[in-house]
Amino acid sequence: MQKMILVLILFMQIVYIPNIALADKEILEVDLNLQEQDLAYTFFDLPNGEATLLQSGKGQNILIGTGSLESQEELEERLKMYHVEFIDTVIITNATEEYTGNLQWIINNYNVETIIVPEVIKDQITSFHHLYDMKVKGWKKGDKTELIPFLKTEVIYVEERDIDEKGALVLLFSYGKQTLLYMGIADYEVEKELINSYALKSTILKVADFGSEKGTTQPFLDEVDPQVAILFKKNGTPVSEIVLERLQETWIDIYQTNRLGTVSIKCHNDDYEILTVRPHEQDYSFGLANNIFK
């Protein structure tokens, strides 16, 4: 890998404010101090499933995935922790329970305006989750939009085969010089197709399918060449040791939410900062990364 990263890490304790809620638990409050031109990706440390919060400096909230139903209490804690009282848009990248388990609860409690789902399974999701009164948009391969000003979003893959993960999305987010490749499916053939069709180089890789060995191949990692990899937890399914070894050997900073806690990446135009939060240990660590490429 022809890459050099200059990283300045600053560890610090950040004052927290107890918030009595959720059966009298103390909930940390995290202030990312987003300026108007900032964007933050926050990857929640749920016991089971995926949920990623996008927040802009202008107050917009987008949630990608809702985690498994058994993670509802932790999801509520994390949303309170980040001062989320409403959610503008929910994006579903995979129709399985680890991604959609709390969809109805989110709709009922956070004044959701829009739900975005894969077009190929739009009717199925609308019917199953009774979304007839909601604004539901279907995304197709090639769709491009700005969900938040200056956040470019492109759908680069939609799974259309008749398999368990039919409808799974692969999304490419670009904000300033920072790019997030959000993989919704782990599959060797899908990765080959993406390598042949797109410039995949990204700052951040959200690893597909909880780090299963069905994907995240070495040729794929070589093409994406990420600085940061995020892995969520699926209950009862450990991350593949093969995938972890590939990530480590490629000199990628690995953030496993079940080990490090919730991970926030605050993006400016030229650099980004990483904050990890362990809510029940009242612990924060904070880093600033300036990236220089050969």
Question: E strands within 44-150?
Answer: 52-56, 61-64, 89-91, 114-118, 135-139, 144-148
pLDDT surpassing 50 at residue 7: no
| pLDDT (average), residues 214-239 | 96
Question: 38-282 has which fold?
Answer: Metallo-beta-lactamase; Chain A (3.60.15)
Where do the domains of the chain lie? 38-282
pTM of the model: 0.89
pLDDT digits 0-9 by tens, 166-186: 999 999 999 999 999 999 999
What 3-state DSSP class applies to 116? strand
| pLDDT (average), residues 218-225 | 97
Q: DSSP for 168-237, please give it.
A: -EEEEEEETTEEEEEE----HHHHHHHHHHS----SEEE-GGGG-TTS--HHHHHHH--SEEEE-BBTTB
pLDDT surpassing 50 at residue 134: yes
Among 266, 271, 220, residue whose Cα is nearest residue 243: 220
For position 283, what pLDDT does the model report? 55
| pLDDT (average), residues 273-291 | 66
How far, in Å, are 12, 27, 83, 275 from residue 15 at the CA level? 10, 12, 15, 14
How far, in Å, are 137, 157, 185 from residue 143 at the CA level? 11, 10, 18
The single-letter code of the amino acid at 96 is T
| pLDDT (average), residues 178-202 | 97
Of the two residues 226 and 291, the one the predictor is more confident about is: 226
Classify the C-alpha dihedral 184-111-86-280 as positive or negative: negative
User: Of 56-70, 109-123, 233-247, 269-283, which range is least confident?
Assistant: 269-283
Instruction: Give the β-pairing of 135-139 and 144-148.
Output: unpaired
For position 164, what pLDDT does the model report? 87
For position 192, what pLDDT does the model report? 98
pLDDT surpassing 80 at residue 279: no
